[in-house]
C-alpha cells in the first residue's frame, strides 16, 4: 500500500509564501521580455559633403566603428512595437578615441560615439509608417526632438548640453567623457531625460542613429556598440 506524504506546517507555510510571491515576479519577467532588440544590419548612411565618411561595420547586434579624420552617421527606423519605449540599453567600448572637446562648440565637437534618439509627434510617425525617413529631414523637423547620448567631450557624466547644430531641437547627454575603455553597459531613461532636457514629455521614437567623428581634431576613433535594445 503506497504511503501518504504529509506536509509539515512549515512546508505548507513556505509553499503558500512562494505562491503569493510569484505574482510579484511577473512584472519583472514581462519587463525583461518587453525589451526589443535593435539590429544594425539594415541601417543607412548619412554623409557630409567634403568630409570623409566614418567606416561602420554593420553586423546584426554589433556595430564596429573606425573614424579616421572623418565624420558621418548611420541610422535606422525604430520598429513600430518599440516606438513608445521609455528606456534604452546597450554596451559600448572605445579602444582609441579623440581627446577632450567642447561638445557645445560647432566645428569642435569631435567625440568617440554618439547615439541619437529621434522623437516626433504620433501623426508624423504614422505618416512615415515602417519606412526609414532621411535622418537630415528628421533632425530638421521643427516639432522633432533628439536626445544624443555621448562617450566623449570634456564634461562630467550627466551634463546636458545644447547641440550646436539643432537649434534647440537636440540635447547632448554626456554619459562618459573622452577616454578609452572596455565593454561597458548603459541603461538610459528616455522619458525622464527628455523631460529634463526639453521640459516636455517624449513623443514617438521613430529613429536611432550612431555617429563618430574625428575630422576637427585629425584623430582616430576605434569603437563599437552592441546589444542595443528598447523597452
> Residue 210: which of 64, 49, 86 has the closest Cα?
64
- Does residue 194 register a pLDDT over 70? yes
Which spans in the chain are helix H? 9-34, 122-128, 135-140, 190-198
Place of cell 576605434: 222
Q: What does the pLDDT read at residue 27?
A: 36
CATH architecture of 37-230: Sandwich (2.60)
- The residues spanned by each domain of the chain are 37-230
pLDDT of residue 28: 35
* CB-based burial, 43-73: b 16+ in 10 Å, e otherwise: beebeeeeeeebebebeebebbbbbebbbbb
Q: Please state, for a pLDDT cut of 90, what percent of the chain lies above it.
A: 78
C-alpha cell at 35: 525589451
Mean pLDDT over the full length of the chain: 88
d(CA 122, CA 11): 53
- Listing DSSP states for 108-143 in one string gives ---EEEEEEEEEE-HHHHHHHTTS---HHHHHH-TT
Average pLDDT over residues 202-218: 97
Which residue's entry shows cell 540635447? 171
For the beta carbon of residue 152, count every other beta carbon within 10 angstroms: 30
Quick one: pLDDT at residue 20?
38
pLDDT tens column, 7-62 = 444 443 343 444 334 333 333 333 445 899 999 999 999 999 999 999 999 989 99
For 59-106, the pLDDT digits (tens) are: 899 999 999 999 999 999 999 999 999 999 999 999 999 999 999 999
Amino acid at each position: 500500500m503506497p504511503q501518504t506524504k504529509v506536509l509539515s506546517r512549515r512546508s505548507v507555510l513556505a509553499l503558500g509564501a512562494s505562491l503569493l510571491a510569484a505574482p510579484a515576479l511577473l512584472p519583472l519577467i514581462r519587463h525583461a521580455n518587453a525589451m526589443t532588440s535593435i539590429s544594425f544590419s539594415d541601417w543607412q548612411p548619412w554623409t557630409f559633403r567634403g568630409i570623409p565618411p566614418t567606416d561602420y561595420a554593420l553586423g546584426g547586434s554589433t556595430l564596429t566603428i573606425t573614424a579616421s579624420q572623418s565624420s558621418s552617421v548611420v541610422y535606422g527606423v525604430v520598429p513600430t512595437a518599440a516606438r513608445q519605449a521609455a528606456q534604452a540599453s546597450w554596451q559600448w567600448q572605445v579602444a582609441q578615441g579623440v581627446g577632450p572637446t567642447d561638445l557645445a562648440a560647432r566645428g569642435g565637437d569631435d567625440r568617440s560615439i554618439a547615439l541619437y534618439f529621434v522623437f516626433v509627434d504620433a501623426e508624423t510617425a504614422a505618416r512615415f509608417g515602417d519606412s526609414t525617413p532621411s535622418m537630415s529631414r528628421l533632425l530638421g523637423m521643427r516639432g522633432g526632438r533628439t536626445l544624443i547620448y555621448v562617450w566623449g567631450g570634456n564634461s562630467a557624466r550627466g551634463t546636458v548640453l545644447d547641440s550646436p547644430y539643432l537649434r534647440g531641437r537636440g540635447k547632448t547627454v554626456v554619459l562618459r567623457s573622452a577616454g578609452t575603455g572596455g565593454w561597458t553597459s548603459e541603461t538610459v531613461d528616455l522619458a525622464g531625460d527628455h523631460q529634463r532636457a526639453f521640459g516636455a514629455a517624449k513623443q514617438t521614437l521613430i529613429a536611432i542613429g550612431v555617429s563618430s567623428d574625428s575630422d576637427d581634431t585629425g584623430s582616430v576613433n576605434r569603437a563599437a556598440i552592441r546589444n542595443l535594445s528598447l523597452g
